[in-house]
Structure 1
Amino acid sequence: MAVDLVIRGGSVIDGTGSLAFTADIAVEGDRIVEIGKVDSKGKREIDADGQIVTPGFVDIHTHLDAQLAWDPIASPSCWHGVTSVVLGNCGVTFAPVSKDGATVLAEMMESVEDIPAESILNGLSWNWSSYGEYLEEVAALPKGVNTGGMVGHCAVRLAAMGERSLDETPATPDDIEKMVPMVKEAMDSGALGFSTSRTFLHRVPDGRCVPGTYAASEELLAFAEVMAQHKGTVFEAAPKLGGKDSREEIKMYGDISRLAGCPVTFGLTQVDIAPQLHLQILDYVEEENSLGANIHPQTTSKHIGVLLGLSARTPFDRAEGWAEMVDLPLEEKIVRISNTETREKLIKAAKERLETLPLDWSKFYALPDNPVRHDFKPEESIAAKADKRGVSIPEQWIDEALELEGKRLFILPVLNQQMEAAAEMLTKPYVTLGLADAGAHTKQIMDASQPTFFLTHWVREKEMFSLEEGIRRMTSDTADLFGIQNRGRLNQGSFADINIIDFEGMSLEYPEIVNDFPGGAGRFIQKSTGYTKTIVNGEVFMQDGEHTGALKGKMLRN
């Protein structure tokens, strides 16, 4: 009897970390029904000989909360083997929302995550008030990837406390009594967890820290009590780290984890200004985990770097002459910069701007294009190349910016500046691969391509991780952390989320700006090569980087 799909002869990497093996995979409907030598014929058959066959990747840290409404394929994640995404990170969500509260939430998302508020307001229906109603809205959207979400502390606090939610004073018992039912409603409706922001870096447009930044532990522990009734949920945080705060912060996460019986995850990166901080935090995490907590810091596999260039923002946009070019088409920028007289004026203005611009140009690099690399050498910096040529920083920057028909990009690593330190963190079994930020920082960074970078750089080139371990890091590890059932592994009965990959042919394409958000807002995207097919719930979703038209993504609920 024929089955719907048979994938033949691929090297199966099942997501558990077990050694690869050659096998066929049979799919009926949205489930895998057989792995091994499949005698049944398939209504569709795919020859995977010479390729690896893996579970679809599970990205636990995205901000696609709005984008899915107008971009059902969830780009750029779809170009990097991702089949399941988690929304609602860092405490910033669009529900619960009070009457007339949409603008405040949209502007907060723009301020924190650099997603244009105008696009959010115009792209969403806002036909909800509770988080459960928001999840139903997402469930009804046609989408190519499986989607789950956490309820955000910022929205909960704002809905319960209004303007007082931004105060530095603790919430009152009455305030907490109003918030707890909102969190319970979200969990009852299938939220994967609860998220909060405690970092002083996250601020609303007027400069104040987002709601929840100053929340006392009593408030967060009240939410943990709710989560204790919903096993499989997760507590996520943008943490308050540094100085004397670090130990108390991690201890509080330990208390939350033990009370709720749930994992706690938070972003952790190496930073040059405090090179030992991440190691200190890991020590604190190990101490809490030894006391019964279940804490999983998450980090990236490469540096997080700001992208700049003529097609996006430049370091000199506030300088005379440069400011007037910000909104010009790229072609017109090139014409102006290429004009000798205009060029000299722009160089002069940029030099004056440098006097008040605190950038370390020895850590500022032109992003290579063939291949795209992130393992920079000191001699590749803008400062080093300018010094070698005997020209000014602005001259060097302009000369390189005009390459690739003006589409050359520059990167300034700001977190995980020492990529080896990030990779070393990932060797620890309790540290999770995350922080890819798909959908966020739209004209600042491009980290949603993380799966492709991790596999090509750390697995294939550096051999720091085996292929089997690398795949596990992005599949069963992330799915299990967020309680996502029957995904992240290839086994009989699991959902048929599958990648077929030409591993040796895998590569990153160059990032580019596209203006495809509502209202024409721009964003960075980055495609890849090597993903022959990405299958979601039994249907081929992406084929050689192109959407097939299938939109079979489902909701992920606790």
Structure 2
Amino acid sequence: MYDLIIKNGTIVDGTGATRFEGDIAVQDGVIARIDSVIETVASRVIDAKGQIVAPGVIDPHTHYDAAVHWDPYCTSSSWHGNTTVVVSNCGFGFSPCRPSDRERYMLMMENTEQVPAAAMQRALPWTWESFPEWMAHMRKLNKGINLASYMPLNSLMIYVMGLEAAKTRAATKAERAQMRDLLNEAMDAGAIGFAMSHLGVYNSHKDIDFTPMPTDSMFPEDAVYLAEVLRERGQGVIQCLAQLNAVVNNSFLVEEMARVSGRPILHNVVIGFDSAPEHHVNVLKWLDSTVERGLNIYSQSLVHRSWAEFTALTVDTLWQNVEPFAEFSTHVGSEAKTRAAKDPAFRQRARKAYDPNVMYASGGPIESHKLVDAKSSRFAKYEGQLIAEIAKAEGTAPIDILFDIIADTEAHADFRTTEATTKDPAKVDAILRHPRVLAGTSDGGAHVKFSDGGVYATDVIAWMEREEKRFTLEELHSLLSQRPAEVLGLEDRGTLVEGKAADLYIYDYEKLDYNREQMDIVHDLPENDWRRVIRAQGVEWVVVNGEPIMHNSEATGAMPGRMLETVRDDRSLAEAAE
């Protein structure tokens, strides 16, 4: 008797092979048999007739480190077929952490990734200090989906050097050695590598005092030193946010870590912009050049039809790296922002500083933002119109209209971006076809009050296959699952093959979709706090390690998720020994 049989499905196995009709039998969390018909008895049978059966999506870029404590299914990612997510990206995480730094770590996570501090303060038990203790805690935690974790480099630097030193100087020889030892200890405990950002003052992910986080100002030599650990181990990957479109490009560090480690490096991020049509072309050319030089670099993409819904109180992370919004972001709370928006001196500086050409990295030019809910009798007649249209009707500059609306509504008016990413399928086609591109960057668990990237797999399938006919399902499911599994070293995931973990999802091809007009607001954070989400349509079942965890976006109550580890590459070990 099998634990589960999925019958009559159209199987797209993620290997790139042509789809076929068949059954899948699962035993002890593993795919035991795939055949045209399986007649054996099972404890549970799912009839997938007329449905696509595909490998679970693997998302290499999330921030569910905290959210999994109150949302064990990591929604909305799991609603859209994600069965494995990677946490502690960009160097942000909770270990190692001294007890005296716990509050600061949570405030940092709130300011950089907009994870509400009140939720973390209530939900995180802080039963750990070291990374191995964190992993032990995470293994015991009830989880609906699988997680893999980087060693977050900001946490490591603060733990070893102290916060002020980590931001202002290079590590000493002794500090380097200690960080090296702790990274080895973390990888022994299951870390899949380390993650960081390196954008200097240009990163919108700022500390609570609006100064750069440690890795953004770290000495590159310290990062390269840690990259050597991965070469010695023949194991692991590095994630590095080093390029912010036209604003800053520190990809030299990505190249050097790739050269020294010999391991895969995940570069962030390649995006298509209609207002900067050459940006993605230049990134892809750079990737080609790294391949020619023998460097093992991949670029994570953000290619779904993304948007943000926000008020001036929730959008600071989009604005912190460009003026005049960097200054505006230092004013915290409704009263302070309203005063700033009304201040003639600030308004004069804003008019002088605003440049729409640098805004495409921050949700697009102000002119392209749409007024969704004015919360104002004065501006209610303009709901549904772009700031550019409102400015024209009012006979004033777009930047002034924005701050007029903010002032008039005490910063509570709702806006929506319309040019955050390209709507041109040709640009997305070019990005996804590159062999060194990973298909997704959801940022799941972060920025919960203005965005939800967990929708990316659903959107890519609906857009690029069903609507545009540019890709086949076979190609897309390989991109969404097989490629990230291979790059991350998760050898038992990513394809529907006998002997591999039974992580999969089942969906109605014709119904697969989501609400493209507006996100839902749900109050499911601790203390009844709220977030914005995008629900899946047409996803019938999500199965993790052989257990159904979602049925039509409703949790089943099963908690089969595991902490995953990357494998060692014996060939790399041999090369290091030589």
Name the TM-score class by shorter chain.
0.7 to 0.9
Larger mean Cα displacement after TM superposition, 102-111 or 384-393:
384-393
Which residue identity is paired with 2:227? A
CA distance in 1, matches of 2:541, 2:313: 31
- Aligned pairs for 1:434-453 (under 5 A) are 434-453=440-459
Structure 2 residue aligned with 1:211, among 209, 214, 229? 214
Aligned length: 514
CA distance in 2, matches of 1:312, 1:300: 21
Which residue identity is paired with 1:444? F
CA distance in 2, matches of 1:387, 1:244: 27
| Alpha carbons 2:191, 2:565 under 8 Å: kept | yes
1:477-536 Cα distance to aligned partner (Å, 9 max, x none): 111111112111001111111111101011103412223222333211111111111111
Which residue identity is paired with 2:154? C
| Alpha carbons 2:272, 2:303 under 8 Å: kept | no
| Alpha carbons 2:243, 2:268 under 8 Å: kept | no
Report the 3-state secondary structure (helix = DSSP H, G, I; strand = E; otherwise coil) of the residue aligned with 2:239.
strand
**Paired residue for 1:551?**
559
Report the 3-state secondary structure (helix = DSSP H, G, I; strand = E; otherwise coil) of the residue aligned with 2:232.
coil
Structure 1 residue aligned with 2:462, among 447, 456, 461? 456
Larger mean Cα displacement after TM superposition, 182-191 or 230-239:
230-239
Residue 55 of structure 1 deviates from its aligned partner by: 0.7
**Paired residue for 1:431?**
437
Question: Is 2:460 aligned against 1:465?
Answer: no
| Alpha carbons 1:14, 1:491 under 8 Å: kept | yes
CA distance in 2, matches of 1:447, 1:528: 12
| Alpha carbons 2:64, 2:444 under 8 Å: kept | yes
Structure 1 residue aligned with 2:522, among 511, 514, 527? 514
Q: 1:464 to 1:389 in 2, by over 3 A?
A: farther
Residue 313 of structure 1 deviates from its aligned partner by: 7.2
Structure 2 residue aligned with 1:290, among 285, 288, 292? 292
Residue 164 of structure 1 deviates from its aligned partner by: 3.2
- Aligned pairs for 1:396-411 (under 5 A) are 410-411=416-417
1:310-330 Cα distance to aligned partner (Å, 9 max, x none): 997799999xxx947999xxx
- Aligned pairs for 1:115-126 (under 5 A) are 115-126=115-126
Q: 1:164 to 1:354 in 2, by over 3 A?
A: closer
| Alpha carbons 1:66, 1:124 under 8 Å: kept | yes
Residue 298 of structure 1 deviates from its aligned partner by: 0.6
Report the 3-state secondary structure (helix = DSSP H, G, I; strand = E; otherwise coil) of the residue aligned with 2:453.
coil
Report the 3-state secondary structure (helix = DSSP H, G, I; strand = E; otherwise coil) of the residue aligned with 2:562.
coil
Report the 3-state secondary structure (helix = DSSP H, G, I; strand = E; otherwise coil) of the residue aligned with 1:448.
helix
Q: 1:274 to 1:150 in 2, by over 3 A?
A: same
Structure 2 residue aligned with 1:504, among 502, 505, 510? 510
CA distance in 2, matches of 1:457, 1:417: 10
Which residue identity is paired with 1:538? G
Give the alignment's Cα RMSD to 1 decimal: 3.5
Structure 1 residue aligned with 2:226, among 223, 227, 248? 223
**Paired residue for 2:103?**
103
Residue 118 of structure 1 deviates from its aligned partner by: 2.3
Q: 1:213 to 1:388 in 2, by over 3 A?
A: closer
Q: 1:416 to 1:173 in 2, by over 3 A?
A: farther
CA distance in 2, matches of 1:430, 1:257: 14
CA distance in 1, matches of 2:391, 2:550: 46
1:97-130 Cα distance to aligned partner (Å, 9 max, x none): 1231111211111111111222222210111111
Question: Is 2:240 aligned against 1:237?
Answer: yes
Which residue identity is paired with 1:265? L
| Alpha carbons 1:19, 1:468 under 8 Å: kept | yes
The two structures have a TM-score, normalised by structure 2, of: 0.81
- Aligned pairs for 1:40-439 (under 5 A) are 40-199=40-199, 200-201=202-203, 202-241=205-244, 246=249, 249-268=250-269, 269-271=271-273, 275-308=277-310, 323=334, 356=350, 360-365=365-370, 382-383=386-387, 386=390, 410-416=416-422, 420-439=426-445
Residue 250 of structure 1 deviates from its aligned partner by: 3.1
Report the 3-state secondary structure (helix = DSSP H, G, I; strand = E; otherwise coil) of the residue aligned with 1:228.
helix
Residue 272 of structure 1 deviates from its aligned partner by: 6.1
Report the 3-state secondary structure (helix = DSSP H, G, I; strand = E; otherwise coil) of the residue aligned with 1:26.
strand
Q: 1:198 to 1:273 in 2, by over 3 A?
A: farther
Report the 3-state secondary structure (helix = DSSP H, G, I; strand = E; otherwise coil) of the residue aligned with 1:460.
helix
Q: 1:216 to 1:180 in 2, by over 3 A?
A: same
Residue 64 of structure 1 deviates from its aligned partner by: 0.2
| Alpha carbons 1:32, 1:495 under 8 Å: kept | yes
| Alpha carbons 2:305, 2:459 under 8 Å: kept | no
Which residue identity is paired with 1:222? Y
CA distance in 1, matches of 2:44, 2:121: 42
Q: 1:311 to 1:115 in 2, by over 3 A?
A: closer
Report the 3-state secondary structure (helix = DSSP H, G, I; strand = E; otherwise coil) of the residue aligned with 2:253.
helix
CA distance in 2, matches of 1:176, 1:418: 46
1:75-102 Cα distance to aligned partner (Å, 9 max, x none): 1112111111111100111001123111
CA distance in 2, matches of 1:461, 1:102: 47
| Alpha carbons 1:362, 1:382 under 8 Å: kept | yes
1:288-337 Cα distance to aligned partner (Å, 9 max, x none): 2222211000111225433126997799999xxx947999xxxxxxxxxx
| Structure 1: stretches of 5+ with no match in the other structure | 328-347, 368-379, 399-405
Report the 3-state secondary structure (helix = DSSP H, G, I; strand = E; otherwise coil) of the residue aligned with 1:207.
coil
CA distance in 1, matches of 2:100, 2:336: 36
**Paired residue for 1:10?**
9
Which residue identity is paired with 1:467? L
Which residue identity is paired with 2:251? I
Percent identity of equivalent pairs: 29
Report the 3-state secondary structure (helix = DSSP H, G, I; strand = E; otherwise coil) of the residue aligned with 2:214.
coil
Report the 3-state secondary structure (helix = DSSP H, G, I; strand = E; otherwise coil) of the residue aligned with 1:40.
coil
Which residue identity is paired with 1:10? G
CA distance in 1, matches of 2:553, 2:112: 30
**Paired residue for 2:550?**
542
Residue 204 of structure 1 deviates from its aligned partner by: 0.5
Which residue identity is paired with 2:471? F
| Alpha carbons 1:239, 1:267 under 8 Å: kept | yes
CA distance in 1, matches of 2:366, 2:310: 13
CA distance in 2, matches of 1:122, 1:350: 37
Q: 1:198 to 1:313 in 2, by over 3 A?
A: closer
Residue 232 of structure 1 deviates from its aligned partner by: 3.9
Residue 284 of structure 1 deviates from its aligned partner by: 2.5
**Paired residue for 2:482?**
476
Residue 162 of structure 1 deviates from its aligned partner by: 0.5
**Paired residue for 2:38?**
38
| Alpha carbons 2:440, 2:457 under 8 Å: kept | no
Q: 1:131 to 1:28 in 2, by over 3 A?
A: same
CA distance in 1, matches of 2:256, 2:425: 31
**Paired residue for 1:372?**
none
The two structures have a TM-score, normalised by structure 1, of: 0.83
1:536-556 Cα distance to aligned partner (Å, 9 max, x none): 111111001111111111110
